[in-house]
Amino acid sequence: MLPADVLIDSAQILALLALITLLTKPLGGYMAKVYLGERTLLSPLLSPVERTIYRLAGIDEKAEMGWKQYAIAMLLFNMFGILLLYSILLLQGGLPFNPQKFPGFSWHLALNTAVSFVTNTNWQAYSGESAASYFTQAAGLAVQNFLSSATGMAVMIALIRGFSRRMAENIGNFWADLTRGALYILLPIALAAALLLVSQGVIQNFSPYLKTTLLQPIAGPGGRIIAEQTLPMGPVASQEAIKELGTNGGGFFNANSSHPYENPTPFTNAFEIFLILLIPAALTNTFGRMCKSQRDGWAIYATMMFLLVIAVGALYMAELGGNPLLALQGPNMEGKDVRFGLGGSALFSATTTATSCGAVNTMHDSLTPLGGMVPLLLMLLGEVVFGGVGSGLYTMLAFVVIAVFTAGLMIGRTPEYLGKKIEITEMWTSVITVFTAGILILILDSIALVTTAGTGSILNPGAHGLSEILYAFASPSNNNGSAFAGLNANTVFYNVLLSVAMLGGRFIPAVAVLWMAGSLVRKKYIPPSVGTLPTDGLFIAWLAAVILIVGALTFFPALSLGPIVEHMIMSGGY
């Protein structure tokens, strides 16, 4: 690969990240107005729709909730979503808009898929184009893409109110926060994004699958001559837009965002990366505005961007070095699409695992050992490098609380953040939020490695097989949804165990965050003084160090036995 190509890749990556930075403030300000109930540009059009939703649902949007009421409403809404989607998947064969006559899912695959989409994970143990009807894709999966994203943002806004309000009892109304997030933020941007994707060649229709004659027949299995190919159709652009914007990640096709019907050009590739980062980045500004401390919002943004740039650079350099075992040296392009090149593939792979999106345009199983360790490590750090819509920022704030508390203890400063004293409840809830996914990964990974049902699905032995199974639990536990491949996950054992990982990884931290919000909102405001720890400037480096230390201490042994050992074998040093 020529140095000029590396420079072009670097310039394109930096330009895209610069664009995200430029849009963080205006979109963050718009979202702050939405959640504060202030008038926005879209209010004349959407306010009547919002009021109609409340009236039909019997909701008093002005009646606020304590943290327990908020948590119960959030849990009940999502449990209902799981039951509804589970029913759609089981009964798919008898429902409309099923031109290919796909049967219903098995009970364990339906459970896994329903839990996956409601928890914003979108882990897929099935091939969309050969298993899911148009009704399932549009009325089931795409709807949950909106609702799971809106749920994550609602929990985040509740935590922001915990920091911003003074000696109050309530943290908002879940139903109002959910409605506003979906109606004013996700829906308009997703609609515009879908139209742009259609203009670039992403398909959007309800046509039956098409059969086309090959220009040159090919020999198939057993010497059979194949002269036709079936082309899947469907409402792809509408789902593609929200799957990226809401950091959901579930692909209409099994090949996900490497499929030309989902991601046809280098421009759409860059645009989809842009959509993945857009809201998680802007929420840092929303946080700063609503807490009246934009410096703290930018400090969190800077920490996230610093870690993302390091991750992208490490992944790019690992793939640029190629595989020394191959006679033909050069960048490792196995599992990557030449349409996107090394730069577009590396940025997408790092972004999708940094944000808990899970959409892929690259086969992560084909990355070099150290290259594959980057997306794995980004998930193991807790999905806080921008992270999922809402969930990334509230997990990052849990890290901030831990960083403030430990730094205050070390230098003798008062452990405060945004004028709220950090005490035992905030520490307990932060620890639960940060460590839940890691505990789930280690426990469930151990179960899989010592049972026949777990090891029987591993297709690659040795260090790479360990990486695959570690990735398989890291992804659902952190609600990412991407797969390392090389593991047969569509079994009763994995469908059930991964459902447990997704439910625990989503709702245990969410309830802990609401508990923290309930504790913070009752505290009185303490004005900054000479004893207050500054939470910008050098604090950014400390926060990044805390995140890396937690990830390293928890998972370094597993990483050593997986990708690090595999790299040593590949390099001839083991």
- Residues 394 and 276 grouped into a single domain: no
Confirm whether 155 is domain-assigned: yes
Of the residues 284, 305, 324, the one at which a domain ends: 284
Residue 4 lies in a domain: no
pLDDT tens, position by position, 147-197:
999 999 999 999 999 999 988 899 999 999 999 999 999 999 999 999 999
> What's the total number of domains in the chain?
2
> What SS3 class is residue 567?
helix
The band of 2, judged by pLDDT with boundaries at 50, 70 and 90, is low
Q: Which two tokens stand for residue 59?
A: 């909701």
Is 487 in a helix, a strand, or coil?
A: strand
Residue 379 pLDDT greater than 70, yes or no: yes
Average pLDDT for 75-91: 97
Say if residue 277 is in the same domain as residue 413: no
User: Is the confidence at residue 374, as pLDDT, over 90?
Assistant: yes
Evaluate if residue 327 carries a pLDDT over 70: no
- Does a structural domain hold residue 321? no
Q: How far apart are the first and last CA of the chain?
A: 28
Cβ-Cβ contacts under 8 Å for 398 (sequence gap 6 or more): 429, 430, 431, 433, 434, 509, 512, 513, 516
How far apart are alpha carbons 551 and 378 in whole angstroms? 9
Question: Which token pair is 148?
Answer: 């799971």
CA distance 214 to 118: 40
Distance CA 445, CA 435 (A): 15
What count of other Cβ atoms lies within 10 Å of the Cβ of residue 317?
14
pLDDT band for position 545 (cuts 50, 70, 90): very high
Residue ending a domain, among 284, 307, 331, is 284
Q: Is 171 in contact with 66 (CB distance < 8 Å)?
A: yes
**CA–CA distances in Å: residue 510 to residues 67, 157, 277, 507, 519:** 11, 12, 21, 5, 14
Check: CB of residue 332 under 8 Å from CB of residue 323. Answer: yes
Beta 420-421 vs 416-417: how paired, if at all?
antiparallel
Q: Taking a C-beta distance cutoff of 8 angstroms, is the pair 430, 402 a contact? A: yes
| Statement to judge: residues 400 and 518 lie in one domain | yes
How far apart CA 331 and CA 328 sit, in angstroms, is 10
Q: Which domain, by its residues, includes 167?
A: 24-212+229-284
Give the pair of three-digit tokens for residue 495. 């469908």
Tokens standing for residue 435: 């460590």
Q: What is the pTM of this model?
A: 0.94
Where does 200-265 have alpha helices with state H? Answer: 236-245
With bands split at pLDDT 50, 70 and 90, how would you rate the model's confidence at 574? low
Q: Which amino acid is at 46?
A: L
Name the helix (H) or strand (E) containing 195: helix 187-199
Domain boundary, last residue among 284, 303, 319: 284
CA 470 to chain CA centroid, nearest Å: 18
Task: Indicate if 49 and 170 belong to the same structural domain.
Answer: yes
Q: Is residue 242 predicted with pLDDT exceeding 70?
A: yes
**Model confidence at 1, in pLDDT bands (50, 70, 90)?**
low
Which of the residue ranges 91-105, 412-426, 471-485 has the most confident prediction, judged by mean pLDDT?
91-105
Query: 456: how many CB neighbours lie within 10 A of its CB?
Result: 11
Task: Kindly state whether residue 500 falls inside one of the protein's structural domains.
Answer: yes
| Contact assessment for residue 502 and residue 356, using Cβ atoms and an 8 Å cutoff | no
Q: Is the pLDDT of residue 573 over 60?
A: no
> Minimal CA–CA distance to 386: which of 417, 360, 353, 362?
353
DSSP-H helix ranges across 321-420? 341-354, 369-380, 391-411
Q: Burial-class residue 152 by CB neighbours within 10 Å (0-12, 13-18, 19+).
A: buried
What is the C-alpha to C-alpha distance for residues 353 and 356, in angstroms, rounded to an integer?
5
Domain membership of residue 183 (yes or no) is yes
472 touches 478 (CB < 8 A): no
- Is the same domain home to 428 and 542? yes
278 and 411 within one domain:
no
